[in-house]
Every structure is written in structure tokens, then in C-alpha cells.
Amino acid sequence: MRAALGFQARTGWAALVALAGPAETPTVALRRRVELVDDTIPAHVFHAAQEARDPRPLVKQAERTARAAGRRAVLEAVRELEQAGHRVVGMGLGVGTGNLPDKLEAILASHALLHAAEGELYRRVLVEAGEHNGLRVIGLPRKELDAAAAKELGVRPVALREHLAAMGREVGPPWRQEQKEAALTAWVALGARRSR
């Protein structure tokens, strides 16, 4: 049976939901929280870098730590799903739509850019983790996730919400916004046409 991973990144962690089955009526096959930082790295790394004498090593260490954690999480999820008899066909993720400056100094000079950079760091390492593990990664705009998923799947937004609510009742708590968003991205990856 086909399955797909879906992630929704938060600061220092991500919600992971895997869906399996036909794209018309998928079910939750896996759900977990993925930690992307450890005790040695602050989750709000760009905020911490503002206070550092040399911010580059801290940001680089955070990137390495998050990248390794993301790759490990994707690999473990794929293995678990394969052991359950599923074939993982892709991965979805909510992505940002803005552009960040290339220079770290410009990011550190703006509070709004600090938040944007942290979000982008965690989303980027998850995309890289999926690609590193051989998955086709589909990014959907975070701020328009419902509409984008409905369009990609050819389903009315109300039908998506109803099915997501049913999934939540079936698996029980936690089924917060981040799990629903991760499930939506997995659903799009599961339903993606093979020609893409």
C-alpha cells in the first residue's frame, strides 16, 4: 500500500504525519513529534546568534544538528512504514514564500527576519532530509495550505476539513493544527501524479 510523509515545521521541531492507502480516503499510518535540535543548540538559534560574538559557528552547528535529526527522522519513518508493508512514494511539507537576505548580518539586524530565518532553516533541512532519503518532496505554501491542498487533490476545502476531522477522531489526541497541516501535505504527496 502506498504511503507518504508529511511535515509541518515549527521552531526547533516538526510534526510528522504519514498517511497510507488510496489518495481518496487515506488513513494515518504514523504520527510523531520530531525534535530538530538538542540540548546543545537553542531552538531560536538566530535570536541567540544576535548575542554571540561570532554568530556563524552557532548557526552552522544548528544547521548540522537539525540536518542530521531530519535525515534520521525521515529514514526511521520510511523504515517503519516499509516494515508495516507500505511503499513510501513521497513527502510533503509546508514551505515559506518569502526570500531571506544572503548576508547573515542583514538577518541579525531585523527581528522579523530572525523569525523568518529560523522557520526557513527547519523547513530547508526537512526538504533536504526527504531528498537525501530518495523521496520526491512537494512543497505547499504554508499560508495557503488548505486551498493549495484542495487544488492539488481536486477536492473541495470543506471535504478536506471533514476528512481531517475524521482522521483526528480515529487517531485521538494530539490532533492540533500542526498535525492537520502535516497530514494535508502528506495527502498531497500521496495523491501526486506519478508524472511530476
Q: How many CB atoms neighbour CB 122 within 10 A? A: 25
CATH number of the CATH domain containing 22 = 3.30.420.10
Tally of domains in the chain: 1
Q: Is 169 exposed, middle or buried (0-12, 13-18, 19+ CB in 10 A)?
A: exposed
- Whether the Cβ atoms of residue 181 and residue 147 lie closer than 8 Å to each other: no
Answer yes or no: is 196 within a domain: no
Task: Tell me the mean pLDDT in the region 46-51.
Answer: 93
Using one digit for the tens of pLDDT, what is the confidence trace for 153-179?
999 989 999 999 999 999 999 999 999
User: How many Å apart are CA 135 and CA 133, to the nearest integer?
Assistant: 6
For position 192, what pLDDT does the model report? 82
Range of the structural domain that residue 132 is part of: 2-191
CA distance 125 to 35: 12
**Distance (Å, whole) CA 144 – CA 177:** 14
Instruction: Find out whether 30 and 77 touch, Cβ atoms under 8 Å.
Output: yes
77 is a domain residue: yes
Are 8 and 178 contacting, i.e. CB atoms less than 8 angstroms apart?
yes
Q: Within a domain: residue 87?
A: yes
- Structural domain includes residue 21: yes
Instruction: Please write the tens of the pLDDT for every residue from 88-142.
Output: 999 999 998 778 888 999 999 998 999 999 999 999 999 999 999 999 999 999 9
Question: What's the pLDDT score for residue 102?
Answer: 87
Percent of the chain with pLDDT over 90: 86
